[in-house]
Structure 1
Amino acid sequence: MPHGDDLDRRFEELVGQIDDAERRRMRAEATRAAKEARNRRPPRQERGRRTRLSGSESFGPPARPRRWGRALVVLSAVVAAVGLVVTFRPGLLASSGALLEEAAAPVVDAVSADPFAGSPAAGYADGIAGFVLPEARAMGGLSRKDVAKGLERVRDLLAAAYLDRRTLEGGDPDAFVAALDRDQRETFSLETDADAIGREAVNSFAPGTAELATDVVKVKGEITLGTFDDDGRRGVEVKLNHLVVYAVHRPGLPLNVIRVVTHPTGQVLLYREDGRLVAWVTGWGASATPASCDADDGYIHPVYDDFPTGTVAPTGVPADPYVLDEEPAEDGCRASQET
């Protein structure tokens, strides 16, 4: 078994084989493979999910397979060489630090980079700060204090529906149910029920399909106030229109992070009944992209770059998922641009 000077010579030869020109070639190969994958991607899918209280609406798009084969082969070769050096001669790490740094850079960048960088979501607020409440004022027969209290309940509903970690990870939306008016809780059902508010009212990734890549959720949108008068009941109509963006990856595979853009819209009616303030949810739901058009269980089924195209094809001109005033489609699956 070789040792001493022979071992030094063999490892110096191994490291020397990966010279500056070879490293440049490897980087160029990885860049070209990534560019080819981008050029081959079909349109994204947008899938709509809306509470049964206002009927059902749905949208959706196909997957973009990403072909990282050549890039991974190149990276694997470098990592294998570095692994041999680390295993047999850790002392060589100091003299070849630049080589190791360059070889590991693609992995480090994939794990630590801001997943929202390069997208409109990078400029959105973080979490609940994006649900900006309008200034409360007396209107619709309600006092300024009532409107302010009602708006706080609306923000609680938004946070429970779109930011609650347990709900996002596929758990039962207990936080959202708890935020509903006590009388409306009785109408909530996880089963398909045309007369009930259900899982479609929250953002919940199907179990086993996604893990959040970061605790940060990006939010942008607006909340506007109006009045209503219906069958003798009058009060304030709160209209909601937001974009909520998540960074997710397949469970246990953190290197393939995608952004899922959801577009929640809805209304909450504020009024007094039997001496108490009521905040009643209506017309509440969201679309999500990229999400599978095939599933219709109330969950978000994210579409990854290596996800096979489903049986339901998207239709129409691909929409920009970051346009806040985009009108939701009435039915079917809608094509969407990249997130």
Structure 2
Amino acid sequence: MDDLDGRFKELISQFDADERRRMTAAASKGARPPRPPRRRWPLAVGLVVAVLTAATSVVVFRPDLLTPDSGPAVTAGPVPEETLPVTPAPAEEPAPGPFAGSPAEKYAEGASGFAMPKARALGGLSKKEVAKGLKRTRELLVTAFLDTKTLMGGRPEAFAKTLDPEQRSFFWKNLDRRKPRKDGFDARGWVNSFAPKTAELTTKVIKVHGRTKLTTFKDHGRTSAQADVNYLVVYAVHRPGQPASTVRIVAHHRGQVRFYRDSGRVAPWLHDWGASHTPARCDVKDGYVHPVYEDSPPDETPTKGLPEDPYDLEDPEGDGECTEASGT
């Protein structure tokens, strides 16, 4: 410090008296403590932000405050379509099916309608043998009345395979005969086939209702078991390419399937197997079903008796005569 003081005094000595007085006065002024700076810019920015925020609030919530007093009030324009509440369209009710309003509406669908009774030992056959006979009975019903190829007039191979070999040979021999037998029999009547080019299925759903009952029969002094079948099978069909012509065809099938024990196996044998159909033509006897539509020409076969209910399972078996029906 002594060295610095000496150098300072030496420097001062180089100035005259007046100069030293001016420097001393200047030094005394600089010794006053400086004022702290005022930070004004944060406040200024804050004010600007506050104004902008307030202005935004006015525009959003009070547009009328920005409108001159002398002018009309600002009114809202039309609400954009995309902001309007969407009202869902009422759900359309499904169109009624072709079986609606008829007893068939509550019938089982397809093969499930051919329910078999519980097997039991009967007519000299064991419970297991009767069960096999009932299984074959159900297969005969399904292939005769539900096979699409057969229904459309095709070759009923599925049904033929289910027959006993001996009866199968008879079936093929008498199917679609070019020369009718004297008794008018045609094996096509053992199955349900619509005449070619007369019908198309309106729906694949086929309604089935009825029962199978186990009974016995005697043949050449021997008692055996048989299944008595009684079923209604209801189809919805229309003229080819004309769905608007849809009608319901009710097939009422009755018959028996007899169970024979043959070389250690149970062989089914059809007996009195056939069906009536409503509405169908009576004046064509070729084994096929010829549907009657609303615009069909009159049937040339005269009818007998009072109108019958085609849905009556207890209706007595007819004798092949053509009768009127109360409707399907």
TM-score of the superposition, structure 1-length normalised?
Answer: 0.65
In structure 2, distance between residues paired with 1:232 and 1:114: 51
For 2:120, give the aligned amino acid: R
Match of 2:253 among 264, 284, 287: 264
User: CA 1:175–1:155 in structure 2 vs 1: closer, same or farther (change >3 Å)?
Assistant: same
Unmatched segments (≥5 aa) in structure 1? 1-100
Q: Which residue in the other structure is 2:244 paired with? A: 255
Q: Which has the larger radius of gyration?
A: 2
- Is 1:186 the counterpart of 2:165? The answer is no
Report Cα offsets for 1:182-220 as digits up to 9, x if no partner: 121111121244597711111100000000000100000
Report Cα offsets for 1:223-268 as digits up to 9, x if no partner: 0011122114432011000000000000000112110001000000
Q: Which residue in the other structure is 1:163 paired with? A: 146
- For the 8 Å contact 2:308–2:324, the answer to whether it is kept is yes
Q: Which residue in the other structure is 2:25 paired with? A: none
Match of 1:176 among 147, 156, 159: 159
- For the 8 Å contact 1:234–1:271, the answer to whether it is kept is no
Aligned length: 232
Q: Which residue in the other structure is 1:130 paired with? A: 113
Q: Which residue in the other structure is 1:59 paired with? A: none
- For the 8 Å contact 2:234–2:249, the answer to whether it is kept is yes
In structure 2, distance between residues paired with 1:239 and 1:182: 21
Q: Which residue in the other structure is 1:73 paired with? A: none
- For the 8 Å contact 2:186–2:286, the answer to whether it is kept is no
In structure 1, distance between residues paired with 2:236 and 2:278: 12
In structure 2, distance between residues paired with 1:310 and 1:215: 28
Match of 2:305 among 312, 316, 337: 316
- For the 8 Å contact 1:187–1:196, the answer to whether it is kept is no
User: CA 1:222–1:330 in structure 2 vs 1: closer, same or farther (change >3 Å)?
Assistant: same
RMSD: 1.9
In structure 2, distance between residues paired with 1:158 and 1:260: 17
- Is 1:306 the counterpart of 2:289? The answer is no
For residue 145 of structure 1, give the secondary structure of its aligned residue in structure 2.
helix
For residue 165 of structure 2, give the secondary structure of its aligned residue in structure 1.
coil
Report Cα offsets for 1:253-303 as digits up to 9, x if no partner: 011211000100000001202222111011000000000111100000000
Report Cα offsets for 1:35-78 as digits up to 9, x if no partner: xxxxxxxxxxxxxxxxxxxxxxxxxxxxxxxxxxxxxxxxxxxx
For residue 218 of structure 2, give the secondary structure of its aligned residue in structure 1.
strand
Q: Which residue in the other structure is 1:223 paired with? A: 212
TM-score of the superposition, structure 2-length normalised?
Answer: 0.68
For 1:205, give the aligned amino acid: F
Q: Which residue in the other structure is 2:228 paired with? A: 239
Which structure 2 residues correspond to residues 1-339 of structure 1 after superposition, within 5 A?
A: 112-188=95-171, 189-190=174-175, 191=177, 192-193=180-181, 198-339=187-328
* Worse-superposed segment, 251-260 or 228-237: 228-237
* Worse-superposed segment, 223-232 or 315-324: 223-232
- For the 8 Å contact 1:187–1:197, the answer to whether it is kept is no
For 2:135, give the aligned amino acid: E
User: CA 1:114–1:306 in structure 2 vs 1: closer, same or farther (change >3 Å)?
Assistant: same
In structure 2, distance between residues paired with 1:113 and 1:140: 47
- For the 8 Å contact 1:116–1:122, the answer to whether it is kept is yes
For 2:265, give the aligned amino acid: R
In structure 2, distance between residues paired with 1:274 and 1:234: 17
Unmatched segments (≥5 aa) in structure 2? 1-89
